[in-house]
Amino acid sequence: MNFRCFDCHQEFPATTRQWCCACGGAFEISERPRFDRDKIDTKVSTLWRYRAMLPAFKAENIVSLGEGWTPLIQARAYGLEFLAKLEFLAPTGSFKDRGTTVLVSFLKELGVTEVVEDSSGNAAASLSAYCARAGIHCKIFVPAGASPAKLTQIRAYGAELIPIEGPRENASRAAQRAAQSSYYASHAYSPLILEGTKTLAYEVWEQLGRRAPDAMLFPTGHGTLLLGAYYGFRDLLEAQLIDKMPALHAVQAEACAPLYKIYTENLTELPDIPQGETIAEGIRIRRPVRWKAILRAVRETGGSVVTVSEREILIAQRELARQGLYVEPTSAVAVAGLHAARGLHLRQTSCGLLAFAGSAGEDVRSRQSLVIPLTGSGLKAPF
């Protein structure tokens, strides 16, 4: 297994301690395993049922807490029904566990004994838990203003917690300095994270009777879940198990929306925008590492990038809670974006399922599906 720079395509051994290319590009896996439906281990009810499609680790080095295979249920918002993928039921309360189980298994395979990471909360909590399971010492650099509930969770796992004042990037810079003498287990930079999050696509495909949804909406900061879904559905497409990719829509908070600015203004460089305040702290990312890959995934699949206001986020969060779905504000962002996703004309069919029209007023005759992952538990940021 080698890493390859997304920008210049230079390859690196997977054992490298570099977290990105000298040109600044983010790493991908150079040759990813092909999807083979006959190799799904149906006796396993975690994402490791897809072990044959994941990087090859010795069985004794797999670090798992039972992540993956989350429920897919019907939900409603703005008078429309959709399918909610309940990622907040993961072991540490967020989708981050998908990537972490693969990354920490890789670290155990390498014999790594100490890691550093920077995170606003969920990634750090997930890494702390899995490192505790693996016996790896974990130093976490967090923005000082991160959710107290998340900081409590990180401490509970025994991680060394280091609050950093100032904007989110300060925590990243501090972690990268510490990584000169440790391993930078970054959810934003590590390509192993995407190998875990791609299993979301495999699960949705299985849960929908081995077909893809027509569209998905994601709260998007660094975009690791959206990108994982892109890679996963692309695997299924290349294996001729689906006919087309679902449209992948990225939803950002108005207060911090660099991807929206790139998308709407057709920019070729990452803009320098202010990091505004938002209750969706998990996507308060002004300089996403994989912005080029995110925009490629959105455009290739016919998706879009949209923004939502703070009020819209709170309304969506409360509407979900009234249905028994208690999620944090970041998780509610995608649902808030339902009415805003460009090119997505939603109608309710007589069967109660979402249908999509190619243009306003077009007659809708086929039943189609929309999936929204609910990414993090409301217990992490109670309102």
CATH pick for 72-94+193-380 out of 3.30.565.40, 3.40.50.1100, 3.50.50.60, 3.40.50.300: 3.40.50.1100
Q: Which residues contact 117 (CB under 8 A, 6 or more apart)?
A: 123, 124, 127, 138, 139, 140, 141, 175, 184, 185, 186, 187
The correct answer on CATH 3.40.50.1100 for the domain covering 96-190 is yes
Q: Which residue has the tokens 């970054």?
A: 186
Confidence (pLDDT) at 253: 97
CB neighbourhood size of 148 (10 A): 12
Contact 35, 241 (CB under 8 A): yes
Q: How far apart are CA 264 and CA 170, in angstroms?
A: 28
Would you list the domain boundaries of the chain?
A: 72-94+193-380, 96-190
Confidence (pLDDT) at 143: 81
Confidence (pLDDT) at 19: 93
Q: Is 240 left (phi over 0), alpha (psi -120 to 50) or beta?
A: left
Confidence (pLDDT) at 353: 37
Q: How far apart are CA 131 and CA 349, in angstroms?
A: 47
Contact 70, 45 (CB under 8 A): no
Confidence (pLDDT) at 354: 43
Confidence (pLDDT) at 382: 67
Confidence (pLDDT) at 368: 61
Nearest to 87 by CA among 331, 318, 365: 331
Q: How far is CA 269 from CA 140, 287, 305, 369, in A?
A: 30, 11, 16, 34
Query: Element (H or E) spanning 251, and its range?
Result: strand 247-253
Per-residue pLDDT of the chain (383 residues; tens, 9 = 90+): 899 999 999 999 999 999 999 999 999 999 889 999 999 999 999 999 999 999 999 999 999 999 999 999 999 998 889 999 999 999 999 999 999 999 999 999 999 999 999 986 899 999 999 999 999 999 999 888 777 877 899 999 999 999 898 877 888 899 999 998 899 999 999 999 999 999 999 999 999 999 999 999 999 999 999 999 999 999 999 999 999 999 999 999 999 999 999 999 999 999 999 889 999 989 999 999 999 999 999 999 999 999 999 999 999 999 999 999 999 999 999 999 997 764 454 443 333 334 443 333 332 223 469 999 999 999 987 66
* Same fold: 72-94+193-380 with 96-190: yes
Confidence (pLDDT) at 344: 53
- CA 219 to chain CA centroid, nearest Å: 8
Q: How far is CA 301 from CA 10, 79, 84, 211, 338, in A?
A: 26, 26, 20, 16, 17
